[in-house]
A and B are shown apart, each in its own frame.
Chain A
Amino acid sequence: MEKITIIIDGKQVEAVKDQPVLMAARENGIDIPALCHHPELESSGGSCRVCLVEAVQGGRSRIVTSCNYPVRAGLEVNTSTDQVMKIRKGVLELLLCRVPDSEVVRGLASKYGIDEPRFFKDEGENNRYKCIACSLCTQVCEDVVGVSAISMQNRGVEKAPGTPFHKDSQACIGCGACAYACPTGAISMKDSKGVRTIWGRKFKMAACSVCGKPYIPQAQVDWIVKTTGKDRAFFDKCPDHR
């Protein structure tokens, strides 16, 4: 890990070469709003375009997404120039048109002075609920969980995550990583009476031997045991009682 010094908003800060500017900023207490980036997922980001900043490098200035712009020597970043704020506001207005039901997007847009977009909203049969099509869910499923039960489908405004042919996915283990990763809470996951419902399938939950509370889908236990060789007995107790 090569440490270098870059400038963010006029301040000299230390950052790791090639790490995303967003991470470098956050590690130095500078906040940049972002939705589609997850620190644990190298492949994530670049989709929502909320984290735009101005990057000046080699005498050239341009608007870039901080979540995947690599830190390199000589870089100067400005997170809130007039132009950055204007374009970010424009992006948020469009996101609000797409997912007017999303509290997260509404809250963020409101911070930038947009309570009601000027353009038509995706409503009625075009309603995407809260999904901003950022694909964090499918990336987690593929890169972290390793099952690829869901993928992004269609293109343009129709783009959305889903199971193959919208049928029950046999690959899904019900772990819910997609729902946890989703920045806008768009994925429905319900646990009730020892059964988890997600992506249209029901998963039987294994209960903790101490508190008796169902806490993990049996299919997820099987998957972890199979892929990591971990002792099955480990899952007898929930994290609170291990």
Chain B
Amino acid sequence: MKAITSFEQLEGYRERVKAAQKKDLPSVLICFGTGCQANGAVAVAEAFREEIERKGLKVDVNVGFKTTGCHGYCENGPLVVLRPKDVLYLKVKPKDVPEIVEKSLVGSEIIEKLVYKDVNTGESVAQYHEIPFYKYQKRIALRNIGNVDPRSIDDYLLCDGYKGLARALTMRPEDIVSEVEKSGLRGRGGGGFPTGTKWRSCRAVDSDVRYVMCNGDEGDPGAFMDRSIMEGDPHSVIEGMIIGGYAVGAKQGYIYVRDEYPLAVKNLQAALADARAMGFLGDKILGSDFSFDIRISRGGGAFVCGESSALMRSLEGKVGEPRAKYIRSVEKGLYDKPSVLNNVETWNNIPVIIRNGADWYASFGTRGSKGTKVFSLVGKVNNTGLVEVPMGISIRELVEKIGGGVLNGKKFKAVQTGGPSGGCIPDSEADLPVDFDSLTQAGSMMGSGGIIVMDENTCMVDVAKYFIGFLVEESCGKCTPCRDGLPRMHRILSDITEGRGREEDIETLTELCDVLTCAALCGLGSSAANPVLSTVRYFRDEYEAHIRDGKCPAGVCKSLITYSIDAAACTGCTLCAKKCPQQCITGERKGAHVIDASACIKCGVCKDVCNFDAVRVE
């Protein structure tokens, strides 16, 4: 491919790609995100190729066929989308393929058994954009994902790709910074620092070398929006970084991506090579005086390397440890040069902001948090996956409208937001708008956008213990409060959940939290107290029930619960007795059964299998 050296050439090329497209060709799009591939999407794609050939059809002549990035609805994968009818099929297997090609691709029939069924209403919905999970979303960051083949730069160009860059190169760098400032975009990685302000500070430092970096070291358990963007729309990140490089005066960019994301690395590498070949990277980009390139650096799997200063150390080839940030990275960052580090989702928003303007972007969201945010909605909720919504949507809307409510009709108890060092927000606060400032005020944080829904069967002390346990494992060990404080907090929480809680424990925990918050070296340490502080704040009674009454109200902590059978409800069906691994349930057929508490290991099998809700946990 010959490099493009002017804006006219770029538009000419775009027009040629557009003209070569056959409009309204019946097409099949197969999700090739990591989740769908794990669910068997590769075999499904192969089956489509074979079936299309067997039918004597030709790709790009009679039918369209492509593999795309992640649609975010991974639990229902492999996902198959049919265009132009906008039909979504879920959990597609290779054996379904001949029928799909026959009826839905060539014909226009909808195959009922493959479409979405609303768990609450029982209603079938075939149209992609009518499914509640998608209907209430506003996709800006995820604008191209699922529509484009991430390996095709032409596909990206068809979605107005690199138009933002072309526009940026006609602007003065300081005007780009002003535009980003005006858009109100705040860092999507967790801190929520205003992106434009960061860029301006970096520009202001006198230096002949500057760097821009992309933080793709997404480490929060359950969060996968950055992976999805890097895998499914790599050019959007690259375009954002080129614009950023031009705006702050950098010639070199780095994408730091965790090595556990092999598909993201592969797609980014391919996209970088294509962008270079077409002249979007390299010397004199699009005929301008601006030269810029990007390299990929793969992380080694430490959670702490998602922290900005640790990431830079790791990028330099040193041990990934945070440093004090009294002198900020915009002054002295990578190799001690002024540097801008932004998250994947932040970079991905830049091209549309430049293309559509700051006012357009700022029309979404709230006063202090503009735009949209991608969340990974997981836990005890009917629809799980990646969702993008305008900032300011309430937790309740997220859980009920998009998430389809709590799983199995159970009672909603809390959401945990912000990753392991985020906090829990209770049902009573569920009308809280989800934005940077509201979440922080509520004792949690935005973090990278993880939202875990918890139902009435979740013990909040156990949750705090789980997250502190994660942080104990991931503490880098450099500073005393995090390294030595977290294991002590974990021990106290273990004692409480195992019936050894003492009256003073809550106060001691709070004191330790204070030491962590005030004295830890980096953001991970200083926010590590959040799981404990937020659960103590909203669920203090649960801590007290564990400590004072030796009871776990949610029925989770094994040392504090006993299983028994309600004689009045038991029908004597013997199912529990048959399934009990300890063989400690006895009783006559059609007579009430009894659990021998001394042999019971509290595995919960009896409760799970009982059809008459006769097993009690207290």
Contact = CB atoms under 8 A, between A and B. Distances in A.
Interface in B301-328: 302, 304, 319, 321, 323-324, 326-327
B584 interface: no
A69 B485 CA distance: 23
Nearest to A138: B319
Contacts of B324: 45-46, 64-65, 68-69
Given A87-B514, A119-B491, A95 B477 contact: no
Interface string A68-98: 1110000000000001001110110011011
Contacts of A119: 488, 491
Interface of B: 302, 304, 319, 321, 323-324, 326-327, 472-481, 483-485, 487-488, 491, 508, 511-512, 514-515, 518-521
Nearest to B326: A69
Given A118-B508, A119-B491, A159 B519 contact: no
A228 interface: no
B479 A94 contact: no
Contacts of A98: 480, 483-484
B338 to A, nearest CB: 17
Chain A to chain B: the 5 pairs with minimum beta-carbon distance, closest first: A159-B477, A90-B515, A94-B484, A119-B488, A156-B475
B515 A87 contact: yes
Given A46-B324, A68-B326, A133-B478, A91 B519 contact: yes
Contact of A155 (B323, B476, B487, B518): B476
Given A90-B519, A119-B488, A151 B319 contact: yes
Interface string A156-178: 11110000000000000000000
Contacts of B321: 152
B483 A46 contact: no
Given A48-B480, A49-B480, A159-B477, A90 B511 contact: yes
Contact of B480 (A70, A95, A155): A95
18 contacts: A46-B324, A48-B480, A63-B519, A65-B324, A69-B324, A86-B514, A87-B515, A90-B512, A94-B480, A119-B488, A120-B488, A152-B321, A156-B472, A156-B473, A156-B476, A157-B475, A157-B483, A159-B478
A154 interface: yes
Contact of B521 (A49, A94, A157): A49
A188 B285 CA distance: 58
B477 A52 contact: no
B481 A91 contact: yes
Given A70-B326, A87-B514, A154-B477, 19 more contacts: A46-B323, A46-B324, A49-B520, A50-B480, A90-B481, A90-B512, A90-B519, A94-B485, A97-B484, A119-B488, A119-B491, A120-B488, A120-B491, A133-B483, A152-B319, A156-B483, A157-B472, A157-B477, A159-B483
Contacts of B474: 155-156
Contact of B488 (A65, A97, A156, A159): A97
B481 A47 contact: no
A150 interface: no
Nearest to B478: A47
A132 interface: yes
A156 B304 CA distance: 11
Contacts of A68: 324, 326
Given A46-B521, A64-B326, A159-B483, A94 B488 contact: yes
A49 B479 CA distance: 7
**From B304, B475, B491, B508, residue with most partner A Cβ within 10 Å:** B475
B487 to A, nearest CB: 6
B477 A49 contact: no
A90 B514 contact: yes
Nearest to A52: B519
A94 B478 contact: no
A158 B488 CA distance: 15
Given A94-B485, A94-B488, A158 B326 contact: no
A87 B518 contact: yes
Contacts of B483: 98, 133, 156-157, 159
Interface in A129-149: 132-133, 135
Contacts of B326: 64, 68-70
A61 to B, nearest CB: 11
Nearest to B322: A46
B202 to A, nearest CB: 19
A91 B480 contact: yes
**From A86, A94, A95, A119, residue with most partner B Cβ within 10 Å:** A94
A83 B518 contact: yes
**From A46, A48, A83, residue with most partner B Cβ within 10 Å:** A46
Nearest to B525: A49
Nearest to A63: B518
**From B321, B479, B481, residue with most partner A Cβ within 10 Å:** B479
A69 B480 CA distance: 18
Contacts of A156: 472-477, 483
Nearest to B319: A152
A19 to B, nearest CB: 13
Nearest to B473: A156
A6 to B, nearest CB: 14
Contacts of B514: 86-87, 90
Contacts of A70: 326-327
Nearest to B487: A157
Nearest to B504: A118
Contacts of B488: 94, 97, 119-120
A70 B491 CA distance: 37
A152 B518 CA distance: 25
A52 to B, nearest CB: 6
A49 B481 contact: yes
B166 to A, nearest CB: 40
Given A90-B511, A90-B514, A47 B521 contact: yes
A46 B321 CA distance: 11
B519 A157 contact: no
Contacts of B487: 157
B473 to A, nearest CB: 7
A91 B475 contact: no
A108 to B, nearest CB: 12
B59 to A, nearest CB: 50
A52 B515 CA distance: 11
B323 A158 contact: no
A158 to B, nearest CB: 7
A39 to B, nearest CB: 17
A95 B483 CA distance: 10
A102 to B, nearest CB: 13
A47 B480 contact: yes
Nearest to B471: A156
A119 B491 CA distance: 9
A214 B263 CA distance: 60
Contacts of A133: 477-478, 483
Contacts of B512: 90
B313 to A, nearest CB: 11
Contacts of B521: 46-47, 49, 65
Contacts of A132: 480
B484 A47 contact: no
A47 B319 CA distance: 15
**From A47, A95, A132, residue with most partner B Cβ within 10 Å:** A47
Contacts of A47: 478-480, 521
A159 B477 CA distance: 6
Contacts of B475: 155-157
Nearest to B320: A155
A95 B484 CA distance: 7
**From B319, B326, B327, B521, residue with most partner A Cβ within 10 Å:** B326
